[in-house]
Amino acid sequence: MALGSPMFRKLLLTALLLIMVTVVMLDLLLSRYTVSRERSRTQSHLATEAAILAGEAEALTVGGLAAWTRTAAQRAECRVTFIDPGGVVLADSEADAAAMDNHADRPEVAEALKGRRGESIRRSESVGRELVYVAVPVTVEGRGGYVLRLAVPLHQVNTAVAEVRRRLAEASLVAGLLALGIAYLWSRMLTNRIARVKDFAERLAQAQFAGTLPPGPDDELGQLARSLNSTAQQLRDVMESLRLESARREAILAGMVEGVLAVDHELTVTFCNQAFARAVGARYPVPERLPVLELMRDPSFLELLSRILVSGEPRQQRLQLAAAEGHSFRVQASPLDLKSGRGAIAILHDVTDLERLERVRRDFVANVSHELRTPLAAIQGYAETLLNGALEDSDNNRKFLEIIKAHAVRLNQISSDLLALSQIESDLSVPPLERVRLREVIDAAVRSVEAEAGLRGVAVHHRGEAVDGTVLASIVGLEQVLVNLLDNAVKFNRPGGEVWIETGTEEDGTTRIVVADNGIGIPSEDLPRIFERFYRVDKARSRAVGGTGLGLSIVKHAIERMNGRITVESQLGRGSRFTVLLPAG
Amino acid sequence: MRHFIEELDDLQAELLAMAGLVEQGVHEGVLSVTGRDPERARRVLMNEARINQMEIRIDEMVTRLLALNQPMARDLRFLTAAIKINNDLERMGDLAVNIVERALSLARQEPVNPEIDMPRMGRLVESMVRSSLDAFVRRDTHLARTVLAADDAVDDQRNIICKELVAFMERNPATISRALDLLLVARSLERIADHATNIAEDVLFLVQGIDVRHHSETRG
């Protein structure tokens, strides 16, 4: 990887450029130096040789010059030329002396003719090469003025320069290889570190905040790594607090009593809490990306959501859901701006209890005025009739007065029932509970309805194994309860009907007293409401049998004050069954 | 052209939207009888035209999907089930209309109080309708079988109500026309339950590829 990386190439190029510049400069310097050194070395060598040969030449004769010149050239390994004082070449080791022109004008020869050593470097016309010349004055056969000239070609100098250049090339090759290696190692180290930082930063960008980056040496890269590490730590902290926050919100939403449903612009469920799923009869948790139609099909709710998606205006409405039988809800729906478009969120409040309480209160006021007005109207009417002359009508006056009395009794009964109820409700202190023998209370209660039962042709039985036991109750309260229940069972019955009072013990030890009949029963839609004050299933019949509409309300409150419970089952036309549960004494 | 799978999803959504209207119709129908509420009754009548339009649209969708895609196996079963469920839903819608017509007639007359538990029968039938559609949504064969099992209970309820109403009419001949209205309501409810049973059978066919029609031993 490092070999192909841009970093490596840049480092290598820089190193090679530096090496090249160095080599070129070195070459320039060294070759100049070498050339000048070689020349002066060659010249001084030639000067030494010339001095030696000049000594020998003094013993020569002019006739032996040619032969000596050749041997001297061999010994000194250079070209040797002998010139007479007039500039005429007498002998030459490499050229034909006779063919050579006068050499008196050659700078080194001219110098030597003046009696000094002459030197020059120039191209030879005789041999056609660049030569280094040294000429010295020589005495031959006792006569001075002759010149001995030595010459070597300059190529020896060039060879030396080439040698220097070869060494330089070798050295720069080694340096280049070294630079390659160093650039490779250095770039690999750098690129590895950078790659680690880059990977880490990319992971951060992809929201993977785990792990830390080894910072390495304290250079710029190390500082970068350290600041990335602290960024990652901060991101981790932020993410953690966000996660906690969303988990908390999720828990709050999931645990809310109100149903919460969020949908996106395609009416696909994005959130649904347990309360909502329960209200619509769906399974919880709801599968991901469920179309809302598969969660619930209620047309008015769907229309509400669609309207929100179109208009973006929050709305609310009342809703009854088939799956939550008998419950009513208020839905508040608002638009929800999502990235994908406008969604909606709906919050479902169960307002069943609220509505029921409201209705009970409303009905109570209506009922109580109705219950009071009927006897009062009768009393007023008959009293007016009497005053308008009926008082003297001996056939009717007594009858009218009895009707007035009956209605007054009824008013009295209603007000004492209301009083009893309000006492029970307002008196929070529990009445003294005592061990009450069931047999005694039941016998007393049965006795008090016997006359009514006989009139209506209804038989009252009692049976059960727990009848000899005791319960923890108030004796007056329990008798009141049983009389009320038995009274209802007898009155809402048919001639020849039967009423049972059964006792038994529940698994948890509480005592069960059941008052059952095979009378007319209670319609299922009325069952939840029969314990309400003045609630009557069949108003005409109830009044005809002399009920105030408060009996069961009193029963329920009295039992609750004795720490008991009452439940009812009934089937229309088959009879009813009230079950009282009381702690055993 | 949209993708076949997406079109199947659209078809299911359309069926469920129609089912929602039908369920609402049955619910409101029962309430309009027991609550003597002509207002509710009129709301159901208003939805009938919508249900009929949806039936036609669903039929067109299924026909087009069958013609263009030649579906196999499960998809084919889904489309045939969709045709049948569509038909059952439309019939249930009509029966809900029959019920509200009786409710309107009853609301115009003096109330009668025979000892029948119409709300109970209504709840039972409504829960069958709901369960059959939930079974269709979730492809839940277990739930579908509970619908098949509940059909007998509805028949029992209808018989009890009929017997009581006949006795009531004998006792009070003046109430015959009102009692007959109630009898027709019970009969419509019972037939709605039959259509819910059909839907449950279609769900079993859709999921398992088995046909449980006319085999009483597989019921329950």
- Cβ distance A572 to B115 less than 8 Å, yes or no, reads yes
**pTM score over 0.80:** no
| pLDDT of res. B186 | 92
CA A357/CA A211 separation, integer angstroms:
60
Percentage with pLDDT > 90 across chain B: 25
pLDDT confidence band for A546 (50 / 70 / 90):
low
Q: What is the mean pLDDT of residues A153-173?
A: 80
List residues in chain B touching A: CB distance below 8 A: 9, 12-13, 16-17, 19-21, 23-24, 27, 34, 47, 113, 115-117, 119-120, 123, 126, 130, 133-134, 137-138, 164
Q: Is A526 exposed, middle or buried (0-12, 13-18, 19+ CB in 10 A)?
A: middle
E strand spans, A104-142: 118-123, 130-140
- Cβ distance B115 to A283 less than 8 Å, yes or no, reads no
| pLDDT of res. B214 | 62
- Look over chain A and give the mean of its residue pLDDT values, rounded to a whole number: 83
Q: Count CB-CB contacts under 10 A for residue A28.
A: 10
Handedness of CA A188, A194, A198, A199 (dihedral sign): positive
The 10s digit of each residue's pLDDT in A369-409 is: 877 888 888 899 888 888 888 778 788 888 888 888 888 88
**What is the predicted ipTM?**
0.81
pLDDT at position A427 over 70: no
State the Rg of chain A over Cα: 67
Structure tokens given for A72: 């001297």
pLDDT confidence band for B219 (50 / 70 / 90):
very low
Side-chain half-sphere exposure of A153, counting CA atoms within 13 A: 10
Percentage with pLDDT > 70 across chain B: 94
Q: What is the 3-state secondary structure (H, E, C) of A497-530?
A: CEEEEEEEECCCCCEEEEEEECCCCCCCCCHHHC
Of A298, A299, A523, the CB nearest to B117: A523
- Cβ distance A299 to B17 less than 8 Å, yes or no, reads yes
Nearest C-alpha neighbor of A566 from the set A498, A499, A477: A477
Structure tokens given for B125: 């039938």
- Cβ distance A572 to B117 less than 8 Å, yes or no, reads yes
pLDDT confidence band for A549 (50 / 70 / 90):
confident
pLDDT confidence band for B92 (50 / 70 / 90):
very high
Structure tokens given for B175: 């109430």
- Cβ distance B27 to A283 less than 8 Å, yes or no, reads no
Q: Give the closest-approach CA distance of B120 to chain A in angstroms.
A: 7
**A360 phi and psi, to 5 degrees?**
-60, -45
pLDDT at position B64 over 90: no
State the Rg of chain B over Cα: 19
What SS3 class is residue A466?
helix
Q: Which residue does chain B place closest to A298, by CA atoms? A: B20
CA A125/CA A395 separation, integer angstroms:
188
List residues in chain A touching B: CB distance below 8 A: 281, 283, 291, 293-294, 296-300, 302, 322-323, 325, 520-521, 523-525, 538, 571-573
| pLDDT of res. A241 | 92
pLDDT at position B2 over 70: no
| pLDDT of res. A430 | 63
pLDDT at position B195 over 90: yes
- Cβ distance A524 to B23 less than 8 Å, yes or no, reads no
B207 vs A349, B6, B150, B193, CA distance in Å?
36, 19, 20, 21
The 10s digit of each residue's pLDDT in A323-335 is: 777 788 898 988 8
- Cβ distance B16 to A572 less than 8 Å, yes or no, reads no
| pLDDT of res. B217 | 44
Of B27, B117, B134, the CB nearest to A524: B117
Of B16, B24, B164, the CB nearest to A294: B16
Contacts of A291 in chain B (CB under 8 A): 9, 13
pLDDT at position B44 over 80: yes
The 10s digit of each residue's pLDDT in A35-51 is: 788 788 888 888 888 88
Q: Is residue B58 a contact partner of residue B51, using CB atoms and an 8 Å limit?
A: no
Q: What is the dihedral of CA A212, A218, A220, A226, to 10 degrees?
A: 20
